[in-house]
Amino acid sequence: VGQPPHSSERLFQEAPSGVAMGLAWTALGGQTLFVEARGRVPASSESMADATLSLDATASADGTSDVPSSSSKSSPRPRNAGPRMKVTGKLGKVMGESSEIALTYARIFLRELEPKNEFLDHAHIHLNMPEGATPKDGPSAGVTMTSALLSMALDRPVKRDMAMTGEVTLTGKVLRVGGIKEKTLAARRENVDKLVLPMSNQADYLELKPYLRAGLTAHFVDHYDDVYRLAFEDTGAPMPSGSR
Amino acid sequence: VGQPPHSSERLFQEAPSGVAMGLAWTALGGQTLFVEARGRVPASSESMADATLSLDATASADGTSDVPSSSSKSSPRPRNAGPRMKVTGKLGKVMGESSEIALTYARIFLRELEPKNEFLDHAHIHLNMPEGATPKDGPSAGVTMTSALLSMALDRPVKRDMAMTGEVTLTGKVLRVGGIKEKTLAARRENVDKLVLPMSNQADYLELKPYLRAGLTAHFVDHYDDVYRLAFEDTGAPMPSGSR
Amino acid sequence: VGQPPHSSERLFQEAPSGVAMGLAWTALGGQTLFVEARGRVPASSESMADATLSLDATASADGTSDVPSSSSKSSPRPRNAGPRMKVTGKLGKVMGESSEIALTYARIFLRELEPKNEFLDHAHIHLNMPEGATPKDGPSAGVTMTSALLSMALDRPVKRDMAMTGEVTLTGKVLRVGGIKEKTLAARRENVDKLVLPMSNQADYLELKPYLRAGLTAHFVDHYDDVYRLAFEDTGAPMPSGSR
């Protein structure tokens, strides 16, 4: 069970902003599972707003407008109508819902962290989980999806060689997941050196034989705040104030 | 069947606003089932509203406005076009419908309670029921969902250590549910001390062996008004006037 | 296993802009698989913008307009609402998702390559994979679809006699695919002379008997940047700066 230094087949060695590394557990064992988030605020949304404003100015100037300005105002509305995200990667129903929870929670988290950063509210987001032919399901990529979305919105890469797993809830709780042994084996095989695991999985991890954990540093968390601190500290990303 | 003081694996010990504790009943027994509600009135709708107001003001100032101010007022309308809510947590059809009933009824209830509080009419709401991999169904989380929504809209936490179960109707009736024994066992195991149960389940509860009910205070209700009073009294939340 | 000069049944000998040649792998063996992309920026979107502007001018000029200009303004919005693409060719779910990844990535790629080229953001695009009666699935046409979309947007044909295969991710990674042997046989049969394959398939290719590879030049890539360089060099298309 030696760990040759360069045998990793991990998709990313150093990942760009918007990418986070998770751990999946399948019938065939554990494996790293990346989440890629890309997004862009459509250019038309700014110019649109301007056009609307100038119309209003004109209309009020001569006071005779019959233009239903309200509905021109409501035109940007749909942009905010909840998650606007495309998700690909052969995801099952639970993982699809997990991506929606991740987006809602990342929006809440970002609003507290950087109130002026509205990227997640306005961008068209595409979340992809390679490899597209492999079916994926379950809620345990919640923390990974949340981190990928925040990494994209902050334009800061997640700390390298860190893999994470855990269901996330709308209030940021990090819930227990399955397959800790298989995920740990996968992490070692792929030369991960930092693991972020749910606090409620601590016993599962500690009962693994020590040689299976050699070379890994595991962090146990029960709130996403701590996942975030671990994933983004020393990257220049803003840190949340206080703790819970 | 002792009740050790710190063995609870309950997801929340002290829950924030927007979270309520229910009780589920599955083939494997009873368990606590939390509902998390998060929501936000989109920023663009305020600035939007402001813009609309100033336009209307200007237009009416010179007395020539033909601005369909009703439709400018109705611009937020599409947001009200039925429940605007995302629901996650592997819910079956009945529980999905139950969430819609909860939202409609919470809106009605809030309108009577705090007429100026339009949060539930304007916010984009996301309701989540951890744990995402566990299928959930049935109408008995109705009172819990309603309470989570009201807690969010009022920004008041539900009283701690209280669990509730009951179908709710659009007129606030609280209907009988199944699994009272299993739910009671789960409540004790998770250190709940106050139960809110449908009045029509009173006999089911009272026929349980006394030691199964030790340490629990059960409240029996037939209208959501009483669920609300129990869940929010002494929290600073407004109380409904009168009774039915 | 000779290679008669004119026996190819390949659909295109010289393909126009918007077409790229891939390689499919089915139970019946390998075959070439073309992707056709056609698109057009709807006239209404320019004229719409113009019309809106001139309408506003008119409306404020004579103050009597009753035209709901607002809705003409909101009309361009939906164009940006994520991929607006029709996809045909009896594609399975994975290949459908693959086409969405290809479009998102081609948009990102084009934005870096030619920032003023907004074709992929505004056009109504139709992607077709003949032959329509043959079911197709899997992610390995990702690089081919991306190349077809870029070829269309740049109006430059892909280099002729080049076939490619590989899953593409949202960050441009090119991932391993299956059926290298069958695809190589198909490429030779169809008189392809340049192959673009994922770097992670290099071993699969090199272990093929040399006579199976005779006449083919294979290029191994791990990022779409390199697919692009190979497919469009010397065609007059702009080249990406730098490398990764």
Report the chain A residue with the minimal C-alpha distance to residue C63. A64
CB B165 within 8 A of CB B200: no
Measured distance CA(C194)–CA(C218) in Å, rounded: 6
Q: What is the mean pLDDT of residues C23-27?
A: 88
CA distance A198 to C192: 52
Residue in A12, A66, A128 nearest the CB of C65: A66
Q: Which residues pair with C87 in a beta bridge?
A: C127
What's the DSSP call for residue B199?
G
Interface probe for A, chosen from C99, C143, C171, C224 (most Cβ of A below 10 Å), is C171
> Which member of A51, A55, A132 has the closest CB to residue C139?
A132
Measured between CA atoms, how close is C7 to chain A, in angstroms? 34
On whether any CB of chain C is under 8 Å from the CB of A135, the answer is no
Residue A54 has pLDDT above 70, yes or no: no
Interface test with A, best of C66, C77, C108, C110 (most A CBs within 10 A): C77
* Binding-face residues of A in 38-57 toward C, CB within 8 A: 38, 40, 42-45, 48, 51-52, 54-55
Average pLDDT over residues B201-230: 97
Could you tell me which chain C residue has the CA closest to the CA of A75? Answer: C74
pLDDT band at B13 (very low <50, low <70, confident <90, very high): confident
**Contacting subunits of B (3+ beta carbon pairs below 8 A):** A
* CA-based nearest residue in chain A for residue B19: A171
Whole-number pLDDT of residue A121: 92
Q: Which of B17, B98, B99, B140 is catalytic?
A: B140
CA of B26: how far to CAs of A167, B97, B134, B192, B213, in Å? 21, 19, 10, 19, 20
Q: Which residue has the tokens 């995920």?
A: A183
Between B10 and B6, residue with greater pLDDT:
B10
Contact A62 C63 (CB under 8 A): yes
Q: Indicate which residue of A140, A147, A159, A173 is catalytic.
A: A140
Encode pLDDT of B52-106 as tens digits: 333 333 333 333 333 333 333 333 334 444 447 999 999 999 999 999 999 999 9
CB pairs under 8 A between A and B: 139
Task: Report the pLDDT value the prediction gives residue C222, as an integer from 0 to 100.
Answer: 96
pLDDT of residue B50: 33
pLDDT level of residue B48 (50, 70, 90 thresholds): very low
Residue C8's pLDDT is what? Answer: 58
pLDDT of residue C169 exceeding 90, the answer is: yes
Predicted confidence band at C216 (pLDDT cuts at 50, 70, 90)? very high
C94 close contact with A: CB closer than 8 A: yes
Name the CA dihedral angle for C10, C14, C19, C20, rounded to a multiple of 10 degrees.
60
B183 in active site: yes
Sign of CA dihedral A140, A141, A145, A151: positive
- pLDDT, tens digit (0-9, with 9 covering 90-100), for C100-118: 999 999 999 999 999 999 9
Of residues A11 and A129, which shows the higher confidence score? A129
A-chain residues within 8 Å CB-CB of C53? 51
Nearest CA to A184 out of A26, A25, A36, A34 is that of A25
C65 lies within 8 A of chain A by CB: yes
Q: Which of C56, C108, C170, C202 to mutate to test the interface with A (most CBs of A within 10 A)?
A: C170
With 90 as the cut, is the pLDDT of residue B46 above it?
no
**Quick check: C69 pLDDT over 50?**
no
State the nearest Cα–Cα gap between A201 and chain C, in angstroms: 31
A60 vs C: CB within 8 A:
no
Task: Read off the pLDDT band of A143 (50, 70, 90).
Answer: very high
B157 to chain A, any CB pair closer than 8 A? The answer is: no
The structure tokens 């299976």 sit at: A212
Q: Among partner residues C56, C63, C167, which is closest to A132 by beta-carbon distance?
A: C167
Q: Please give the structure tokens belonging to residue C190.
A: 């169809």
Confidence band (pLDDT; 50, 70, 90) for C157? Answer: very high
Contact C171 A67 (CB under 8 A): no
- Confidence label for A243 from pLDDT (cuts 50, 70 and 90): low
* Tens digits of residue pLDDT in A172-222: 999 999 999 999 999 999 999 999 999 999 999 999 999 999 999 999 999
d(CA A163, CA A140): 12
Could you tell me where the DSSP H helices lie in chain A? 43-62, 69-74, 93-113, 119-122, 142-154, 180-189, 202-206, 210-213, 224-232
- Which residue do the tokens 């500690």 mark? A206
Task: List active site positions of C.
Answer: 140, 183
pLDDT (0 to 100) of residue C14? 80
Which among B136, B159, B173, B183 is annotated as catalytic?
B183
Interchain CB contact of A166 with B (< 8 Å): no
Which chain A residue lies closest to C76 (C-alpha atoms)? Answer: A44
Q: Express each pLDDT in A80-105 by its tens digit.
A: 344 479 999 999 999 999 999 999 99
A-facing residues of B in 168-207 (CB < 8 A) are none
Average pLDDT, chain A: 83
Cβ contact, residue pair A75, C77, below 8 Å: yes
Phi/psi region, residue C50 (left: phi>0; alpha: psi -120 to 50; beta: rest), is: alpha
Does residue A8 have a pLDDT over 60? Answer: no
The answer to whether residue C206 scores a pLDDT higher than 50 is yes
Residue A44 pLDDT: 58
Residue C221: per-residue pLDDT: 98
Taking contacts as CB-CB distances below 8 angstroms, the residues of chain C near A90 are 93-94, 97
Query: Any chain A CB within 8 A of the CB of B78?
Result: yes
